[in-house]
Structure formats: structure tokens, C-alpha cells
Amino acid sequence: MNNKSIVIDGKTIPFEDGQTIMQAAIAAGVYIPHLCHNPQFTPHGSCKLCTVKVNGRNCSACTFPASEGQNITNVTKELNDDREKITQMLFVEGNHFCPSCEKTGNCNLQAVAYHLGMTDNHFPHFFENREVDASHPDVMIDHNRCIFCTLCVRASQEVDGKNVFAISGRGIDKRLVVNSESGLLKDSGLDATDCAAHICPTGAILIKRTGYKVPIGQRIYDHAHIDTVTLANEGASHDE
Amino acid sequence: MTNKKVKVATVSLAGCFGCHMSFLDLDERLVDLIEHIEFDRSPLTDIEHCSPDCDIGLIEGGVCNSENVHVLREFRKNCKILVAVGACAINGGLPAMRNHISLEDCLNEAYRDGIGVENPQIPNDVELPLLLDKVHPLHEVVKIDYFLPGCPPSADVFWKFLTDLLAGREPSLDYELVHFD
């Protein structure tokens, strides 16, 4: 045990060498909004929702190492406004129609939007034409809902020991691709029991025939806030 | 609160009237509400055009045709506070799911090539408003002041929002009242 600490929003938080700000925060019960981060996998630092101010500079909490002397702000109007704008951009870039999505109520994108008090999408919608891949017998991909968080990519590589998913293209042309000759999920090595099939924070990768097992109204975020849920889940996996 | 009743106008554009039905779910609370508000242009009154001094405009549905654009602009011009009510008003909703299909294909499927279509022809009466190429949420056409998410927003959402406004408070919805579904 050491005595090293950082300060987040005035609260002193202990950390150990090698921990990121996100790891230290979650271990101390401090929620920093995030979508592309999951403590099971190598941090990716791409969604930028976890941007905090470290001694006045913007840093991604999920990748930035904690170190002595850091004075960090997390919950401020400025940062939360930025987070809301980022979330709104995710909503208009894809096609996120919650009432017709199986994931509604269990969706982290939706829950982050709730957390940030987002009630509209602010920006003009892209209404981009994206495909649905329902070729696999047990798993489907609805590209309309992909936010390119790469959780499935990392889960497949790091947990499943496969390499089913990747992100192809750059910027606005970025898209999720499947590692199979046909490009279809059915010809990939994905099994419904794989971690990668269950890790999607939105409704982009779904297990077939399970979508409405839990009725709308009884789902995770219908009543529980994402900060509470995240700290309970991810705090636990940090402790393991 | 003054004695003068607050004028509320409502309309359903590219919507299903589900939000209006949900509003009516206020049930006996409508009796309390009507002490403080009066309806102007609305499917509930059949008044055809907004009075120039409407206080609150509640708009259900997105914008899918030329008439929707005209009506929405009329509401913006005549209502002090304009509210996008429900998923379709906020992001186009279910009607916007036609946006990745060309308008020509949509019309052909519905009126010419679809299963069971008799006397196939594309409707072309001058009385019919022209369809827009894509369905748009309201905020892409006019400035919107407040958004009530939900498909539909529950009666409790309408109640909280309107009673906040009537009391002169900035409207705020508790976590349990905000749902995108």
C-alpha cells in the first residue's frame, strides 16, 4: 500500500503506479462517463467522453496514467456540455431509433445520454444508409447502431483469442468489418458464446431470439442510472 | 399565475397521434389543467390556424411533406414556446426509417408494385402535399425550445412539463420520466 493520490473534483483518491485515472476513479467509486472503455480490455481512448481536465489540460481518463500532483476536474458544466455534444454527434452519425431497437433500456449510449440530460440530437442527422448483417444463425450486426468503440474488436482479440472484427477506413468513412472472405458474419469464427458477441454497448451486435426476454420497462437503465450500474459492474471487475 | 389562460396549440405532423393519445392519458388531470390553459389550433378543437398569441406549441411527429413545413413554420411564428414532442419530432422516428430508401422506391412499393395493390398508380392530386425527399426532425427546420422524448412521452411527462411552465419554473424531468423508447 502506498500513499500516492490524485484529486478529482476536490476529492482525494489513492492510486497505485500503473493505474490510469479511470482505474483509480472507478476503484474509488467516482464515475467518469465513458463508452469505449471497459476494464476487461486494453484502453482505446477513442470516444472522448471520459475527457477530464488534468491540471487544466484535457486528457482521456481511460488512457492517461494517474500520477502524484494531478488536480482533476470531472463533473463540470463545460465538460458535461462537451460530453453531451459528443453523444449527440454519435446519435446523428448513426441511425439510432430507440423505440424500434431491441437494446433499448439496456443500451449504454442511451444511458449516457440520459445521464447527461440529453433530450435532443441538436445536429442535423446524417441518415446514412448502413447495412444489417443477419447471416449468422445466432448473432446479428446492425451497422446503423455501431459507434466504432472497438469493444467487439478488443474482446475478440483479447478474450476470445480470435480476430473476428476490425475497424476499416478513416474518419467519416470508418466502418466495422468482419474478418471473413465474404465479409459476412456467418463465415467468420464468431460463436454466440464469445465475449465479442455480448460486449456491444449499443444495439449493433445482438444475440438473436433474446431481444425481448426482458420487457421494456424492466430493463437496466429504465430505473437505474448508468453511474451506479457502471461503478457496481466495473468496480467489481477491477477488484478481481 | 394570472387569470388569463395560457394558450396551447398542438399538431401531429408525420406522427401517429400516439403522443396526443398519451396527452389525453392525463385523464382527470385534464380538468385541473383546463383551469389554466385553453386550446388554440389543435386536433382537439378543429381550429385551423394558430392565433398570433399562442403561448405553447406542442408538435408531434417529424416533417415529411411540404404541408408539414408550412404548419411547423406557422407554429414557430405564432407560439412563444415551441416543443418537440416524442421520438419522431426529435429524430424523425419511424417515418424517417424510409430515409435510406429512395422516394421513388417508396412510392412504387406502396402504390404500384406492393403485394395486393389494385389499380396501381402514384397519387398525384394537386390537393396532396408533395413528399419531401427525406423525413426530418423539427429542429432541422425551425428553432425548438424544449424536447419531450419518448414513444410516446407519458402523460406524467406532459403534466410535469406543463405544470412547471405554468408555475413559472424552468421545466425539468426526473430520470424516470426521460425515455427515448
- pLDDT, mean over chain B: 96
Give the model's pLDDT for residue A3.
85
The C-alpha atoms of residue A154 and residue A165 are separated, in whole angstroms, by 8
Check if A94 contacts B (Cβ < 8 Å): no
Give the pLDDT confidence score for residue A5 in this predicted structure: 97
pLDDT greater than 60 at residue A17: yes
**Cα(A76)–Cα(A80) distance, integer angstroms:** 6
Grid coordinates standing for A102?
Answer: 431491441
pLDDT tens for residues A182-229? Answer: 999 999 999 999 999 999 999 999 999 999 999 999 999 999 999 999
Distances A79 to A50, A62, A83, B60, B162 between C-alpha atoms, Å: 9, 15, 6, 32, 30
Residue A121: list chain B partners with CB under 8 A.
90-91, 137, 139
Reported as a single tens digit per residue, the pLDDT across A93-103 is 999 999 999 99
Which residues in chain A are closer than 8 Å to B106, comparing Cβ atoms? none
Contact status, residue B157 vs residue B163, Cβ threshold 8 Å: no
Min Cα distance A178 → chain B (Å) is 23
**Chain A partners within 8 Å of B100 (Cβ):** 95, 127-130
Label residue A240 by pLDDT band (50, 70, 90).
very low
Alpha helices (H) in chain B, listed in sequence order: 18-24, 29-33, 66-78, 87-91, 103-108, 155-166
Cα–Cα distance measured from residue B57 to residue B71, given in angstroms and rounded to the nearest whole number: 11
CB contact under 8 A, B180 and A98: yes
- The string of pLDDT tens digits covering residues B26-84 is 999 999 999 999 999 999 999 999 999 999 999 999 999 999 999 999 999 999 999 99
- Comparing A5-80+230-239 with A87-226, is the CATH topology the same? no
Output helix, strand, coil percentages for chain B, rounded to the nearest 5: 35, 20, 45
Residue A209: is it exposed, middle or buried by C-beta count within 10 angstroms (0-12/13-18/19+)? Answer: exposed
- Output DSSP code: residue A148: -
CATH class for the domain made up of A5-80+230-239: alpha beta
CB A177 within 8 Å of CB A166:
yes
- Comparing CB atoms, the residue among B100, B139, B176 nearest residue A120 is B139
Res. B2: pLDDT tops 90: no
Cell numbers standing for residue A131:
447495412
Residue B162's contacts (CB-CB under 8 Å, 6 or more residues apart) are B8, B33, B37, B56
A100 and chain B: CB distance < 8 Å anywhere? yes
Q: Which residues of A touch B136 (CB under 8 A)?
A: 125
Where exactly are the structural domains of chain A?
5-80+230-239, 87-226
- B1 pLDDT exceeds 90? no
Q: Which residue of A has its CA nearest to B101?
A: A129
Output the nine-digit C-alpha cell for A233: 459492474
Whether this prediction's pTM lies above 0.90 is answered by: yes
- Residues A53-83 pLDDT 10s: 999 999 999 999 999 999 999 999 999 999 9
Among all residues of chain B, which has the CA nearest to that of A216?
A: B181
Q: Which of A99, A119, A129 sits opposite B181 (nearest CB)?
A: A99
**For chain B, where are the E strands, in sequence order?**
6-12, 37-39, 54-60, 63-65, 79-85, 131-136, 146-148
How far B91 CA lies from chain A's nearest CA (Å)? 7
Residue among B64, B91, B135, B143 with most chain A CBs within 10 A, to mutate: B91
A91–chain B Cβ distance below 8 A for any pair: yes
Q: Which three cell numbers stand for residue B6?
A: 395560457
B152 and A99 Cβ atoms separated by less than 8 Å? no
What ipTM was estimated for this complex? 0.94
List, in order of start, the domains of chain B with CATH numbers.
6-96+133-171 (3.40.50.700)
Q: Are strands A205-207 and A175-178 parallel, antiparallel or unpaired?
A: unpaired
A87-226, CATH topology level = Alpha-Beta Plaits (3.30.70)
Minimal CA separation from B152 to chain A, in Å: 9
